[in-house]
Structure 1
Amino acid sequence: MRLLALSGSTRHTSTNTALLRALQAIAPERIRISVYDRVGSLPIFSPHLEGSLTPLAAQEFLRSVRDCQGVIIASPEYVRSIPGGLKNAIDWLISTSFVIDKPIALVHASHRGDDMLQALRTVLATVSTQFNTDLFLRLPLLNETPERIAHIVGVPANRLSAENFLETFATFCRECAACEPA
């Protein structure tokens, strides 16, 4: 199972990126997670840049989404909303059909951010028929270092929750793939 973990943060020491890397580190062997932490390097989406004019960075991002079996998104909240970099990445996705039937689930690295999560849920439910609103992992990791986040995720109770989330999402991805027309 190939999953893409998309960080909505542009910060080098992002809590959300660290959470995704910690999930990558504890994922069962049959679940491979690639972390995409370059939303800040994507050019601003413009319909004039679709197709053969799509910039290389956007092409690489779109390929990574196309080639995975599911997407996990973690994002900070900026001014009670979706960060611009993540919204721009989603805008690039809707310029293709890659996201329409792609299984998507959310993880969150803070006890805050419910306004952003609600806005993101609305957007994802609009762009993907396979956004699973019931699958959600939240760990309060705000202001922790990446090393500390890895440790916290590795604590037995948190690790069990994280592994259960990953296993449940992988099962959901397989079920979605089984329902696709041949």
Structure 2
Amino acid sequence: MKILAISGSGRANSTNTAMLRAVADLAWPDHEISVFSGVAGLPVFSPDLEVEPPPDEVQTFLDLINESDCLIISSPEYVRAVPGGLKNAIDWLVSRDEIITKPIALMHASHRGEDMLGQLRLVLSTVSQQFTEDVFLRFELMKLSPEEIAVYVAKASNRSVVIDFLQSLTERMER
């Protein structure tokens, strides 16, 4: 199964991106996970730009989604809300077919962020028929470096949680 893991953060040393990369490192052989950390590089959505072909950065993003079987999204919370870069990325998908039937699950790298997660769940359930709230993975990783996150996620007990999460996502897709 090909999974596109989308980081909602624009930071170079993002906790969410580091978590997604650590999960991707554990996923083989059943799951092939590619991490997209380029939401900050997408142009600001405007209906005026919804032409064919779309801007190059958007086309690359759309191609990655098309090539995947499902999506995992992990995002920080900014001022109790979905970060602008991630919301902008989702806005690029609203009037397109790429995301409508794509299974989507969430991961989160903090012990807080319920307001953002609630908003993200609402948005994703609006744009996708296959968004699932019941497949969710959370680790409390704030203030850890990307290297520390990789070590933390690779611990046997956490590795087991990751594998269970990916298996749940696979089972959800098969339904």
What is the TM-score when the length of structure 2 is the normalising length?
A: 0.97
- Give the drift of 1:59: 0.5
Cα displacement (A) at 1:51: 2.8
The residue aligned with 1:21 is 21
Distance in 2 (CA, whole Å) between partners of 1:67 and 1:51 is: 21
Query: Deviation above 2 Å: which 4+ runs of structure 1?
Result: none
- How far did 1:135 drift? 0.4
* CA apart distance, 1:28: 3.1
In structure 1, list runs of 5 or more residues that go unmatched. 176-182
Matches of 2:33 and 2:53 in 1, distance apart? 29
Structure 2 partner of 1:120? 120
- Alpha-carbon distance, 1:53 to partner: 4.7
What is the correspondence of 1:1-182 to structure 2 with a 5 Å cutoff?
1-175=1-175
After TM superposition, the score normalised by the length of structure 1 is 0.94
Amino acid at match of 2:149: I
| Aligned mates of 1:30, 1:162 — CA distance in 2 | 13
Structure 2 contact 21–35 (Cα < 8 Å) conserved:
yes
Residues paired across the two proteins, number: 175
| Partner Cα separation in structure 1 for residue 164 and residue 28 of structure 2 | 10
Whole-Å separation in 1 of the counterparts to 2:159 and 2:148: 14
Note if contact 1:31-1:170 (Cα within 8 Å) is conserved in structure 2: no
Deviations, residues 110-141 of structure 1 (Å, cap 9, x unaligned): 00111000000000011101001100000000
Deviation of 1:172 after TM superposition, in Å, equals: 1.8
Counterpart AA for 2:93: L
- RMSD, aligned α-carbons: 0.9
Write the letter of the residue equivalent to 2:173: C
In the TM superposition, what whole-angstrom CA distance separates every residue of 1:53-90 from its partner, at most 9, and x where no partner exists? Answer: 51000011011111100000000000000000000000
